[in-house]
């Protein structure tokens, strides 16, 4: 197993059946894939383009890379699929999951998102980039949460503890406005 250490597999490392399933979701043959840096999963994270020019962002992982990443990917798919259509996030186009969505599942999972223009923010954060993202975060924070919608409040940390829900730890009503 590869630890989540910034080392990723790429689009061409995916088994042919996984690539074929992703191409079916996208609706065309992938002709280019640009691996993305950052993140915590050793799975693939690629911006892909089809022969017709359609773009998508693909994340795929199997237990051979990291069994925890597989569970996190399933959780991400469930949460993203439950978001309202007007949420300011890339839309989930589809998923490919070789298992039955139970905790003992052992196959590949691929998440296919619409690809949006942009890039990862620099780290450490730069004031201008942070300021550009705060309005979106503020809109997301003010949007109502449906009781039927799953939340992303308690991912398990390596130490075995969980993060408390953001809502409970935020003491201010939002970012300052000028």
Structural domain boundaries, residue 49: 11-155
The overall average pLDDT reported for the chain is: 77
In a domain, 171, yes or no: no
Neighbours of 45 (CB within 10 A): 22
pLDDT of 43 > 60? The answer is yes
- 59-92 pLDDT, tens digit each: 999 999 998 999 999 999 999 999 998 888 899 9
In a domain, 165, yes or no: no
> How many separate domains does the chain show?
1
pLDDT of 5 > 70? The answer is no
The verdict on pTM exceeding 0.75 is: no
In a domain, 129, yes or no: yes
Residue 61 in contact with residue 75, Cβ under 8 Å?
A: no
| pLDDT at residue 31, rounded to an integer | 98
pLDDT of 40 > 90? The answer is no
Q: How far apart are CA 75 and CA 132, in angstroms?
A: 28
* Mean pLDDT (whole number) for 85-111: 82
* Mean pLDDT (whole number) for 102-107: 60
Q: How far is residue 69 from each of residues 4, 89, 116, 168, measured CA to CA in Å?
A: 8, 21, 23, 26
In a domain, 41, yes or no: yes
Cα-Cα end-to-end distance for the chain: 49
In a domain, 70, yes or no: yes
- 48: domain CATH number is 3.30.200.20
The percent of residues above 70 in pLDDT, for the chain, comes to 69
Q: How far apart are CA 164 and CA 162, in angstroms?
A: 6
């Amino acid at each position: 197993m590869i630890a989540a250490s910034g080392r990723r597999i790429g689009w061409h490392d995916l088994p042919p059946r996984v690539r074929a399933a992703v191409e079916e979701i996208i609706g065309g043959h992938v002709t280019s894939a640009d691996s993305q840096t950052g993140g915590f999963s050793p799975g693939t994270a690629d911006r892909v383009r089809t022969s017709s020019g359609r773009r998508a962002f693909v994340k795929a992982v199997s237990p051979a890379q990291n069994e925890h990443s597989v569970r996190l990917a399933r959780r991400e798919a469930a949460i993203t699929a439950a978001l309202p259509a007007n949420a300011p996030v890339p839309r989930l186009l589809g998923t490919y999951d070789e298992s039955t969505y139970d905790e003992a599942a052992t196959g590949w999972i691929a998440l296919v998102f619409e690809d949006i223009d942009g890039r990862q923010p620099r780290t450490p954060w730069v004031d201008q980039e942070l300021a550009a993202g705060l309005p979106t975060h503020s809109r997301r924070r003010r949007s109502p949460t449906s009781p039927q919608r799953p939340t992303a409040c308690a991912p398990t940390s390596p130490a075995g503890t969980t993060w408390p829900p953001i809502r409970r730890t935020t003491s201010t009503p939002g970012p300052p406005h000028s």
